């Protein structure tokens, strides 16, 4: 048995947000019922094969499920996954679909971490992004979670939208700190192909925020959140001591994880696979006992090593040469010495005490730095 992380994908939403390119569709109750049955069947195959330290139910919008549907899903997880081994159990929730009764179910079924998709505390921003909830909904959902006894809550926020000012962002940061979540994720708005936001950009009905302003927003996030007791432990993530997201560390450290559901990825022993992305093909495939894996690749050792460095550089602590050597049988310098020297010369990475990491200067151009290791 291996210790891994389990991801379960719920691809249903009330409606698509303008910026979203995740594998999600507008929900219909009948479809959800069939999908949950398929999820349970896929989970049953895992029974006894793995020991999971973390479970993460994401989407889409898991909180869109009715109370009956949510209980069916949560019961399936507990039925097939040894709950005694689960240290961190996260469910994503939208403030517009999270109710007191659903919160009660999550608590009853031993979920111990909630990731609340707030994105903004300003109604004008929420409307612009296509969110279904209001600022009041967000505050009320957070308070309800605390009242129910949830001691580990993450809040997601987005910065950099075209109609957002630095002052708007500072207000959002002030509001979130006043609420006092245990973990805060701040993401720069991205324009993904096929989204309505990108279509508006292409026909010039909107314009991207100035890069300088976006960078100032990011720097403000770091200054403000760290000065208020949040450790900036990953490019986009801040946590109070002891509340860093264990599940995401499996991705950042490029260690094993299993994905369940339509379009979900798994990465086991250097082999990456993904399930059929189309929800209906996934459901039919599971019901007909077919193999629903639509993509598979076995990474060559140097590619595996390269991806491991890229992912680890997202963490402020970077990557230890000792750990790297134990995994791959050679040092970081053996494969990336030239890149390390060049980037260090420009002050973008540091290599001290046998640990490679981004400098603060490198942090602000992280995507560019990481391409050097691909």
pLDDT, tens only, 334-352: 999 999 999 999 999 999 9
Residue linked to tokens 């109604």:
123
Q: What is the bridge-based pairing of β-strands 2-10 and 257-260?
A: parallel
Q: Does 57 share its domain with 189?
A: yes
Model pLDDT, residue 209: 77
Cβ–Cβ < 8 Å for 175, 121: yes
Nearest to 328 by CA among 347, 312, 346, 350: 312
Tens-digit pLDDT profile for residues 120-178: 999 988 887 888 889 999 999 999 999 999 999 999 999 998 889 999 999 999 999 99
Q: Does 210 share its domain with 340?
A: no
Distance CA 53, CA 247 (A): 8
Q: Does 191 share its domain with 339?
A: no
- Read off the pTM: 0.94
Element (H, E) at 159: strand 153-159
Nearest to 88 by CA among 108, 60, 111, 68: 111
In a domain, 271, yes or no: no
Residue that is last in its domain, among 231, 252, 273: 252
Query: What is the count of structural domains for the chain?
Result: 2
DSSP states of 15-33: S--TT--SS-EE--HHHHH
Q: Does 56 share its domain with 162?
A: yes
Q: Does 199 share its domain with 326?
A: no
Q: Does 224 share its domain with 95?
A: yes
Distance CA 282, CA 215 (A): 40
In a domain, 188, yes or no: yes
Supply the CATH number for residue 340's domain. Answer: 1.10.10.920
In a domain, 334, yes or no: yes
Distance in Å from the first CA to the final CA of the chain? 32
In a domain, 260, yes or no: no
Q: Is the peptide bond before 60 cis (omega within 30 degrees of 0)?
A: yes
Residue linked to tokens 């910065």:
159
Q: Does 236 share its domain with 112?
A: yes
Q: What is the bridge-based pairing of β-strands 183-188 and 153-159?
A: parallel
In a domain, 268, yes or no: no
Supply the CATH number for residue 88's domain. Answer: 3.80.30.20
Range of the domain at 155: 2-252
Residue 203's SS3 state is coil
Q: Does 247 share its domain with 366?
A: no
Helix, strand, coil % in the chain, rounded to nearest 5:
45, 25, 35
Written as tens digits, the pLDDT of the chain (374 aa) is: 556 899 999 999 876 555 555 556 676 767 999 999 999 999 999 888 888 999 999 988 999 999 999 999 999 999 999 888 899 999 999 999 999 999 999 999 999 999 999 999 999 888 878 888 899 999 999 999 999 999 999 999 999 988 899 999 999 999 999 999 999 999 988 766 666 666 665 676 666 778 899 999 999 999 999 999 999 999 999 999 999 999 999 999 999 899 999 999 999 989 999 999 999 999 999 999 999 999 999 999 999 999 999 999 999 999 999 999 999 999 999 999 999 999 999 999 999 999 999 999 999 999 999 999 99
In a domain, 257, yes or no: no
Phi, psi of 71, deg, nearest 5 = -65, -35
In a domain, 66, yes or no: yes
Q: Does 245 share its domain with 327?
A: no
| Residue % of the chain over a pLDDT of 90 | 79
Distance CA 359, CA 238 (A): 17
In a domain, 224, yes or no: yes
Model pLDDT, residue 169: 97
Model pLDDT, residue 192: 65
Residue that is last in its domain, among 252, 281, 299: 252
Cβ–Cβ < 8 Å for 92, 145: no
Complete edge-to-edge strand list for the sheet that includes strand 319-320: 319-320, 355-358, 349-352
Phi, psi of 208, deg, nearest 5 = -60, 145
Cβ–Cβ < 8 Å for 27, 11: no
Residue linked to tokens 């760290």:
226
Token digits of residue 327: 């995994």
Residue that is last in its domain, among 252, 270, 301: 252
């Amino acid at each position: 048995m291996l210790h891994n992380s389990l991801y379960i994908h719920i691809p249903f939403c009330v409606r698509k947000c303008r910026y979203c390119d995740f594998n999600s569709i507008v929900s219909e109750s009948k479809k959800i019922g069939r999908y949950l049955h398929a999820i349970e069947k896929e989970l049953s195959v895992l029974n006894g094969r793995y020991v999971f330290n973390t479970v993460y139910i994401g989407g889409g919008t898991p909180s869109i499920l009715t109370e009956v549907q949510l209980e069916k899903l949560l019961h399936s997880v507990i039925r097939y996954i040894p709950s005694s081994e689960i240290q961190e159990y996260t469910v994503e929730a939208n403030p517009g679909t999270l109710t007191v009764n659903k919160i009660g179910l999550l608590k009853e079924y031993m979920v111990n971490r909630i990731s609340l998709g707030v994105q903004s505390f300003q109604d004008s921003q929420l409307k612009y992004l296509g969110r279904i909830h209001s600022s009041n909904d967000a505050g009320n959902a957070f308070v309800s979670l605390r009242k129910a006894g949830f001691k580990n809550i993450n809040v997601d926020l987005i910065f950099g939208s075209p109609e957002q000012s630095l002052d708007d962002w500072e207000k959002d940061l002030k509001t979130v700190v006043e609420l006092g979540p245990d973990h805060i994720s701040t993401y720069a708005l991205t324009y993904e192909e096929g989204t309505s936001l990108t279509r508006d950009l292409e026909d010039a009905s909107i314009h991207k925020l100035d890069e300088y302003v976006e960078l100032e927003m990011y720097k403000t996030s770091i200054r403000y959140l760290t000065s208020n007791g949040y450790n900036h432990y990953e490019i986009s993530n801040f946590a109070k001591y002891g509340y860093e997201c264990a599940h995401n560390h499996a991705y950042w450290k490029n260690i094993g994880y299993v994905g369940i559901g339509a379009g979900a990825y798994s990465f086991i022993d250097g082999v990456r696979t993904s399930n059929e992305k189309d929800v209906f093909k996934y459901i039919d495939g599971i019901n007909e006992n077919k193999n629903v894996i639509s993509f598979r690749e076995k990474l060559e050792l140097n590619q595996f090593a390269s991806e491991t460095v890229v992912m680890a550089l997202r963490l402020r602590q970077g990557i230890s040469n000792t750990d790297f050597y134990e995994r791959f049988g050679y040092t970081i310098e053996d494969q990336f010495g030239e890149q390390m020297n060049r980037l260090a010369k420009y002050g973008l990475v540091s290599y001290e005490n046998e640990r490679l990491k981004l400098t603060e200067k490198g942090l602000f151009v992280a995507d560019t730095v990481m391409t050097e290791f691909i």
